Amino acid sequence: MARRRSKQLKLSALYSFALCHRGSSEDHSRIGTAGFSRVVYVNEPDKHEEEFKYPLNEVSTTKYTLVTFLPKSLFEQFRRVANFYFLVSGILALTPLAPYTAVSALAPLCVVIVATMAKEGVEDWRRKQQDHALNNRIVKVHRGNGNFEETKWKNIKVGDVIKVEKDNFFPADMILLSSNYLDGICYVETMNLDGETNLKIKQALDVTLDLQEDTKFRYVRQTIKCEDPNANLYSFVGTMEWKGRQYPLSPQQLLLRDSKLRNTDYVYGTVIFTGHDTKAMQNATDPPSKRSKIEKKMDKIIYLLMSTLLMIALLGSVLFGIWTKEDLRDGELKRWYLRPDATTIFYDPKRAALASFFHLLTALMLYSYFIPISLYISIEMVKILQALFINQDIEMYHEESDKPTRARTSNLNEELGMVDTILSDKTGTLTCNMMEFIKCSIAGTAYGQGVTEVERAMAMRKGAWLDGDIENGDKEKRIDHSPHVKGFNFKDPRIMDGNWVHEPNRDIIRDFFRLLAICHTCIPEIDDETDKVSYEAESPDEAAFVIAARELGFEFYQRTRKSIIVRERDPNQNVVRERKYELLNILEFSSSRKRMSVVVKEPEGRILLLSKGADSVMFKRLASTGRKFEEETRRHINEYADSGLRTLVLAYRVLEEKEYKEFNEKFNTAKTSVSADRDEQIEVAADSIERDLLLLGATAVEDKLQKGVPECIDKLAQAGIKIWVLTGDKMETAINIGFACSLLRQGMTQIIITLEQHDIIALEKNGDKQTIAKASKRRVMDQIEDGIEQIPPPTQFSSESFALIIDGKSLTYALEDDLKFKFLDLAIKCASVICCRSSPKQKALVTRLVKEVTHKVTLAIGDGANDVGMLQEADIGVGISGPEGMQAVMASDLAIAQFRFLERLLLVHGHWCYRRISVMICYFFYKNVTFGVTIFLYEAFASFSGKPAYNDWFLSLYNVFFTSLPVIALGVFDQDVSARLCLQYPELYQEGVQNVLFSWHRILGWMFNGVMNAILIFFFCIAAFEDQAFRQNGQVAGLDALGVVMYTCIVWVVNCQMALSVNYFTIIQHIFIWGSIAVWYLFLLAYGAINPGLSKTAYMVFIEQLAPALSYWLVTLFVVMATLVPYFSYAAIQIRFFPMFHNKIQWKRYLGKAEDPEVARQLSSRHRISSQQRMVGISARCDGKTMQITREAEREVQE
């Protein structure tokens, strides 16, 4: 195995790393007070058990435990009002009041409850298995006498000394004691916590630096006192007692659980927080029991049906009481055949009020068939099958990582079709954590023929083909067989392979790449066997710059405290020469400076200031003689930004010896200052030298998006879905990504809310906390109000689009109770929202605000532990199952491998699931209303006697055998349009967002259809069989025959209604629909042949009475046609004159024009309302570009 060597450089000696030694600004005097009371005995973990009893390191993300599963899951089932109602009905069925047997009432309920609980148990068991895998990871723990043993994470205790090796996760929150570096630094990747991929540098206290070997921990005994467990990732207050002295601890020594050790061979640390006390878990919330909005609305429908049921039961009971009382008046028997003078209490005219009350209880049980008992279990079955189809969709399978899409819970399938707002993390979700040097502008000439993701997507939108090697109109395709270098995607034969020496501005090109090789803080690592150099960088874009310089012949090779060595290849003589630059000063990059500079002395003796930074600050600092290429460079930068690239301007100047000495003296004085204005002094010194620069050019780096992200966002935007980005990254990084994925575009007005302003910064250093908070809140409020004023009212048409960008500090105040509604009002009016430097808690709070105030479905998507709170707070949480940790996946409802799969998940599966579940529920209520109303009508016909029209098992099996399978098939297989057309017409998705298929109008329409069908069935059957004979021997129909006739008509009508509702027939649906009808006849034959003691009124009723009677078959045919014709007529009129969007697509498909792009464009543009006009995405970018060209053309015509 090849060994790597790197200089054991005191990184803290570089100004860039000087902050490693700066103490915490927090007040350590609070140690020992409330909130700062934790005591940790290092290397003595058992000592805590006697005094403090800190928790172990085991974590759990499950909903249930073995003890709580039964009570908690039963509560989950019986909080569904229908299940609770059937439980009460089942208990009452054990009394003489029941109109049917108790077994027929309780058996279906038990099946439903057990099946649903089993499903919940299986899903939670899967979460348990994932927790088990995490808790059983292995790490080395000190077990005495300098021996480190491999131990499971779950067995780690507070006070344990841990040895973590390279590329492993930290198992708990730890204080860094030492590392393999001499000065105790280590590189930490915190992507799972704050979403950032750039490496953070941590450093141990000087007093523990010599603990670099296992044996040195034999006698280590220290005491740490620090803050109590809390969710703040960016602050830490503590002290360490070492040999009788107290040393302050800061976030610089804190290693957080779920962050990863990078570019460091090993570190030693002591555990201070374990398990759910760790900051990562403090930012997580308990797994919520999520219920979809449709399921909640379904409860309201059941309440409505129960209210209706109670009303008709009361009405029937009152009428029953009146008629019963009149049965015996003045000793005369009115309905003598009922023998009211010798009856039970239930029909006693002398106690009519009590009889009426008992009838009410009987009626409530009898009318329970208005409520579909199999609705919940049918929906559960359908959702499980829908989830299975989602899991098996090959189009959402990521071959590279071998990860399919996985629905971890099936409760929220229909919500996928109703998403109004997506709240997305950035790093690892939109991007794939890779920067690539792709283009540059040098001396006013643009170089680089690569094509960015945004450019490719825009070209595809226009129907054009972009070749990767197009420059200045040259469209000849060149094939590049060179191996891909990570971080380098630059192609241009004019300057590659040493050809830059033939360019007219070769000296400027040479200085440009020298600057890239020198102006940075990277550390080189050299492979001993191959002599190849790799780099450890604070950020991926810094790595991309030095890699680009290396690939183009300027290799950064070695760094010491005072020098940088660059190996330059001379293209003319084909030799490599080393150039050693004396490193004089580093002026580090910061978000306020927006630039970085180094001062170096060339081998020839010249002193150079090399600088790179944002164009907004660099162009102001150019000398009048250094602006020769400014216009061309600005144009190139705008083009690069429009292509979604991150740009930096490069410039330099030659310093005179005297000028440098004056600056260096001022700079060193500022660095060694201990006054409160130290940073201002450093900034003044740097500002004095970073002037009169000579422009070299600009770089363009692509923050590599995941494959298909711009296209996916474009489709989602066309579907009317709003997309917010919540990231822990800096504002500049987030804005660049916004451009790259087309959430931001040129010409879009940016409303930026930030507290990084000079007066606020000055106040933070000099004022007290109360004054700072008051001023900051006032500033945030003013910025929000200014933003609201900028946006025109909805009544005023405007093509201008707005983007809201807010940082984490401002967000803290914007989310306070008196400001959050104004903030949300502004955010909703903007086309894009980007929240930068957001903590996990803030992500969750923003998600909660959007969800609770808008009452629309929210979807959160992320890949790290910092996204867990957001995923659990949203209506739907989607985890990215990437290579870095599984925390987000474990807390999510669905897991996908790539962001682009969200397009198919929502626009195809989401739309289908929403439509299927909506139609399925409406149909369920329709068929039960149809059935229930016939029971009510017969009871009214029979003087509300409490006698059902149907046999007990006819009642119980209606929802189980004769009408359930067709609706399940509809819920699993039905499609209004194909997957291809769902993607071609993304506006179709708005049917779910606006909930048009499950509105009260539609629900009540289905119920009205059920009532009308029941009335027609009942009265036609009564009219056909009430008086006249229906058999050849002159017999008239009895209750048993009439009940079977009505039941037969109902089975036929509701199943034929299903056939009319299906858009996409499969062989399974045919089998289920017509098979259900056939099963009814087979059941009649089998059940009617059983002993009459069991079959009762159904005994031989079909074989002996109905089957031989022609009138039975004719009435069935007539009733079915009479009840279906009105619905068929209504549907035909609605589709012809008032079509919904899916009806229009179906009609175009019937005509064979649905897949014509021009037809699709016209149909979509006519359907799209003004509030849904494209504001973000590639389409909006193209539309904006077209409008800009049109306006320019109009101006030229006018001139």
Average pLDDT of the residues in 789-811: 82
More confident of the two residues 1077 and 476: 1077
Phi, psi angle pair for 287, to nearest 5°:
-60, 120
User: Is the confidence at residue 418, as pLDDT, over 90?
Assistant: yes
Pick the residue with more confidence: 1183 or 102? Answer: 102
Task: Choose among 737, 857, 709: nearest CA to 803.
Answer: 737
HEC-encoded secondary structure of 515-565: HHHHCCCCEEEEECCCCCEEEECCCHHHHHHHHHHHHCCEEEEEECCCEEE
Percent of the chain residues topping a pLDDT of 90: 31
Question: What digits encode the pLDDT tens for the residues 296-351?
Answer: 888 888 888 888 889 998 998 888 888 877 777 766 667 666 666 666 666 777 78
User: Strand, helix or coil at 288?
Assistant: coil
Give the phi and the psi of residue 101 in degrees, each rounded to 5: -80, 150
Question: Tokens 């399925």 map to which residue?
Answer: 920
Q: What pTM was computed for the model? A: 0.72
Strand partners, 1167: none
What is the structure's pLDDT at 839? 81
Mean pLDDT, the chain, rounded, equals 82
pLDDT, position 468? 45
Give one word for 959, left, alpha or beta, with left for phi > 0 and alpha for psi -120 to 50. alpha
d(CA 34, CA 856): 41
Amino acid 1014 reads A
What pLDDT, on a 0 to 100 scale, did the predictor assign at position 1171? 38
Which H or E element spans position 789? helix 769-790
Q: Tens of pLDDT along 704-745?
A: 778 888 888 888 988 889 999 998 776 776 787 787 777 887
What lies within 8 Å, CB to CB, of 782 at 6+ separation is none
Rounded mean pLDDT of 113-128? 82
Read off the pLDDT of residues 626-651 as tens digits, 9 standing for 90 and up.
999 899 999 998 888 777 688 899 99
* Phi and psi torsions of 845, nearest 5°: -70, -40
User: For 720-774, what is the HEC assignment?
Assistant: CCEEEEECCCCHHHHHHHHHHCCCCCCCCEEEEECCCCHHHHHHHHHCCHHHHHH
Is pLDDT larger for residue 372 or for residue 833? 833
- Residues carrying an active site annotation: 425
Residue 15 has pLDDT above 60, yes or no: no
1042-1100 confidence digits (pLDDT tens): 889 999 999 999 999 999 999 989 999 999 999 999 999 999 999 888 888 777 777 88
CA 580 – CA 602 distance, rounded (Å)? 7
Which of 218, 102, 872 has the alpha carbon at shortest distance from 860?
Answer: 872
Residue 1176, pLDDT > 70, answer no
Q: In this predicted structure, what is the pLDDT of residue 34?
A: 65
SS3 580: strand
Residue 322 vs residues 93, 228, 357, 502, 536: alpha-carbon distances, Å: 25, 72, 12, 110, 92
Residue with tokens 């070769």: 506
The angle, 0 to 180 degrees and rounded to 10, between the axes of the packed helices 1039-1061 and 1067-1088 is 170
Nearest Cα to Cα of residue 367 among 1123, 935, 770, 856: 935
Tens-digit pLDDT profile for residues 1120-1171: 999 999 999 998 998 888 888 888 888 878 878 767 777 667 676 666 543 3
Distance CA 90, CA 683 (A): 79
Question: What DSSP character marks residue 864?
Answer: S
Higher pLDDT, 14 or 909: 909
Query: For the segment 378-417, what is each residue's pLDDT rounded down to a tens digit?
Result: 888 899 899 999 999 999 998 888 889 988 888 889 999 9
308-315: long-range contacts, CB 8 A cutoff, minimum separation 24: 308/370, 309/364, 309/367, 309/368, 309/370, 309/371, 309/932, 310/364, 312/363, 312/367, 312/936, 313/360, 313/363, 313/364, 313/367, 314/360
Which of these, 715, 716, 737, lies nearest to 725 by C-alpha position?
A: 737
Helices (H), 835-949: 840-854, 868-873, 887-890, 901-904, 911-941
- The answer to whether residue 3 scores a pLDDT higher than 80 is no
**Predicted pLDDT at 2:** 44
Percentage of the chain lying above the pLDDT 70 cut: 85
What is the predicted pLDDT for the residue at 287? 56
Do 626 and 671 touch, CB atoms closer than 8 A? no
CA gap 622, 691 in Å, rounded: 7
Residue written as tokens 């994925």? 741
CA distance 815 to 440: 41
Of 731, 708, 720, the residue nearest 1175 (C-alpha): 720
